[in-house]
Amino acid sequence: MISIAGKPILHHVVESLAQNGIRNIVLVVGYEREQVFDYMGSGGQFGIDITYVTQKKQLGTAHALAQAKAAVEDEFLVLPGDNLIEADTIAQFVAVKPQAVLVKRVDNPVRYGVVTIDNGVVKDIIEKPKQPKGNIINTGIYAFNREIFSFIEPELDIPDALNNMIAQGKYLNAHQTDGTWLDVVYPWDILSLNDIVIRQIQANLGGTIETGVSLKGTVLVGKDTVIRSNSYIIGPVVIGGNCDIGPNVCLLPATSIGDNVVISSFTEVKNSVIGSDVNIGPGCIIQDSVIDKGCVIRGQFTACSGEAEVKVDGEHYSVNVGAMLGEGCNIGNSVVAQPGVIVGNYTQIQALKLVSGRLPDRSLVF
């Protein structure tokens, strides 16, 4: 449900399927499933029918698929809900016969399952190899029939089940794509996805644009939003509905803003993703940052971009990034976020603090 260019990633996935004529979709939900229910509903707004299946414990992708066994027909597609894929990318794969996997050539295969292929047939899938044999990876998109469940159910993850299937002499065909396929592995991946999608938007100025506002490039403004006087916006920028922006706010390229967002005067936002129901005070500088929904940020907050060494799950990454704020954070006046800081959900930070590193959910910084 992370928002990319004003829509949750899952919204983009469902749209791509609907554009390829797929009308019956099963969503396997678990953690914070109410967010999915509330947003997706029965699927009518997308022209599809949605069936929900609950995975009570998130044990793995194969375990998730096993929960859907009673809800699928003989042939079906499997897609991750957190990968951005365009309709054209899967247009040909929709007609591929099971069992098959969609693969793609990438520059950084160590992040993925690397696929060994011989004459279009998969020989094995090795997850996150330190020394990959190639750069063709598993996108996590599959064409299956019900036979797959005899291999899925003993396993927790789909690649393990597929390797067992191959070892028993079954064929798994590889279908390679050059189309757009992107996933969110790390928080800063949200920015690169947003940048790609936002460049494809079409300008549309809803709401009210007050006198003295300067708009350049492609800008989308949602219904009932007010852009107040002397604000300066350079697209591509997406602003959701019922927002209150300005006066004297500067929004720079590759910025995506959700619904019901308030951005107060003399604040600058650049190449950032701002979730819905966020309130940003005056005089803030926010660059290359992700701010999840429901955050309240007082005045003079600074999240400048810079080269940062970030540690995630024991691995170190050098990235150029600002701040990553989880859902429902409350940030006091004049807080400075060091480049690469990851702030957990519902964290509270009092005024005049300098924060860095990684703060767990519900941290209190006094």
Residue with tokens 């019901």: 260
Q: Is residue 14 part of a domain?
A: yes
Same domain, 227 and 142: no
Same domain, 105 and 231: no
Positive/negative CA dihedral, 118, 160, 192, 207: positive
Same domain, 205 and 321: yes
Range of the domain at 104: 3-185
95 CB-near residues (< 8 Å, 6+ apart) = none
- Single-letter amino acid, residue 350: Q
Residue 70 DSSP label: G
Using pLDDT thresholds of 50, 70 and 90, give the confidence band for residue 86: confident
Q: Tell me the percentage of the chain whose pLDDT exceeds 90.
A: 77
**Total-model pTM:** 0.84
Same domain, 123 and 154: yes
Please report how many Cα atoms fall inside a 13 Å half-sphere around the Cα of residue 222, on the Cβ side. Answer: 18
261 CB-near residues (< 8 Å, 6+ apart) = 239, 240, 243, 244, 245, 274, 275, 276, 277, 278, 279, 280
Q: Where among 142, 158, 185 does a domain terminate? A: 185
Q: Is residue 243 part of a domain?
A: yes
Same domain, 53 and 147: yes
Same domain, 126 and 260: no
Neighbours of 196 (CB within 10 A): 16
Same domain, 289 and 153: no
Q: What is the CATH number of the domain that holds 89?
A: 3.90.550.10
At 20-51, the pLDDT tens digits run 999 999 999 988 889 899 999 999 988 999 99
At 210-268, the pLDDT tens digits run 999 999 999 999 999 999 999 999 999 999 999 999 999 999 999 999 999 999 999 99
CB 306 within 8 A of CB 289: no
Q: Is residue 191 part of a domain?
A: no
At 315-361, the pLDDT tens digits run 777 889 999 999 999 999 999 999 999 999 999 999 999 999 999 99
Distance (Å, whole) CA 273 – CA 238: 10
Q: What average pLDDT does range 120-133 have in this prediction? A: 91
Distance (Å, whole) CA 31 – CA 52: 13
CB 48 within 8 A of CB 17: yes
Burial label for 197, CB within 10 Å (0-12, 13-18, 19+), is buried
DSSP letters along 295-341, please? -EE-TT-EE--EEEEEEETTEEEEEEE--EE-TT-EE-TT-EEPTT-
Positive/negative CA dihedral, 205, 207, 209, 214: negative
Residue with tokens 């999240």: 303
Same domain, 227 and 144: no
Q: What is the CATH number of the domain that holds 261?
A: 2.160.10.10
In the chain, how many domains are there? 2
Burial label for 358, CB within 10 Å (0-12, 13-18, 19+), is middle
Same domain, 163 and 291: no
Q: Is it the case that residue 88 has pLDDT exceeding 70?
A: yes
Same domain, 290 and 244: yes
Q: Is residue 335 part of a domain?
A: yes
Q: Is residue 192 part of a domain?
A: no
Same domain, 208 and 355: yes
At 159-201, the pLDDT tens digits run 999 999 999 999 999 999 988 888 887 888 899 889 988 988 8
Distance (Å, whole) CA 86 – CA 46: 15
Same domain, 135 and 239: no
* Cis peptide, bond prior to residue 247, ω within 30 of zero: yes
In 3D space, the residue among 230, 239, 192, 196 whose CA is nearest the CA of residue 210 turns out to be: 230
Q: Is residue 327 part of a domain?
A: yes
Q: Where among 124, 152, 185 does a domain terminate? A: 185
107-131 burial, b at 16+ Cβ within 10 Å, e below that, comes to eebeebbbbbbeeeebebbbeeeee
85-98 burial, b at 16+ Cβ within 10 Å, e below that, comes to bbbebbeebeebeb
Distance (Å, whole) CA 58 – CA 305: 34
Q: Where among 131, 164, 185 does a domain terminate? A: 185
Using pLDDT thresholds of 50, 70 and 90, give the confidence band for residue 313: low
Q: Is residue 12 part of a domain?
A: yes
